[in-house]
Chains A and B, each alone.
With several copies, the nearest count.
Chain A
Amino acid sequence: MQLHLLNRSPQSTAVYRDLGEAFGADDQLLLIEDACYAALPAASGVIEAFGGRVSVLEEDLVSRGLAGRVSPAITVVDMKGFLALTETHERCVSWF
């Protein structure tokens, strides 16, 4: 059970594909920085590979003006929620 961190916009399709290949059945994905744009409905094609186990960092959403635009399939977490994800997952792998 791993937590995957990703910080690239969904236009960086290569990193989404490589992460998709490595993503396990119980893994979680947290979108931070420019990966927040993958939380928009327009990116649902890229995100559906991660089976609903996707969250996005609230402060990075808000600064980008995306707070009201998040796809309903994606969970919004704050900085405490980010920390909690790293507490409950033994390993955290960062993709960039």
Chain B
Amino acid sequence: MLNYALLVHAAPYSHQAALSALRFADAIVTGGHRLAAVFFYHDGVHNASALMSPPQDEIHLAEGWKRLHEDHGTQLLVCIAAGLRRGLLNTDEANRHGLASHNVEAPFELTGIGQLVDAMLNNDRLITFAP
């Protein structure tokens, strides 16, 4: 059994890479390995949006990521610097910025780039999916 982490740079519904990442995540856990964490960076932070509302006959990517956390304990880490710029905030950050709405909810966590470095050093494999 190996420990994997994923790094996702691609926005959902713009590039296949977000879907490829979720497909590969399924392959990891089905293959008997552990997916410790997914780190969302660059435009990948939009995968964490609680507001995404795709048509009903298309996959809901944020739900797909959440299911990984629920079923396998995978950490869903969103780069806070990349996210704030792009409009991804949890309630804490919304309060800090005086905003009444938020769009990042547990199990997605806003976190620093240090967690990406940790994920790389503390797992056997880091696989990147970019647009």
Q: A–B direct touch, CB within 8 Å, in complex? A: yes
Which residues of A are at the interface with B, using a C-beta cutoff of 8 A?
A: 5, 7, 32-34, 59-60, 79-80, 82-83, 86-87, 90-94, 96
Report whether B129 and A82 are in contact in the complex, using a CB–CB cutoff of 8 Å: no
- Cβ contacts under 8 Å, B131 to chain A: 96
The verdict on B126 contacting chain A, using a C-beta distance below 8 Å, is: yes
Partner of A87, one of B2, B9, B20, B130: B2
Contacts A7-B17, A33-B17, A87-B2; A79 near B27 (Cβ below 8 A): yes
Partner of B24, one of A7, A34, A82, A96: A82
Which residues of B are at the interface with A, using a C-beta cutoff of 8 A?
A: 2, 4, 9, 16-17, 20, 23-24, 27-28, 31, 33, 124-131
Report whether A96 and B27 are in contact in the complex, using a CB–CB cutoff of 8 Å: no
Q: How far is the CA of A76 from the CA of B31 in the complex (A)?
A: 19
Contacts A7-B17, A7-B130; A86 near B125 (Cβ below 8 A): yes
Q: How far is the CA of A7 from the CA of B128 in the complex (A)?
A: 11
Report whether B31 and A92 are in contact in the complex, using a CB–CB cutoff of 8 Å: no
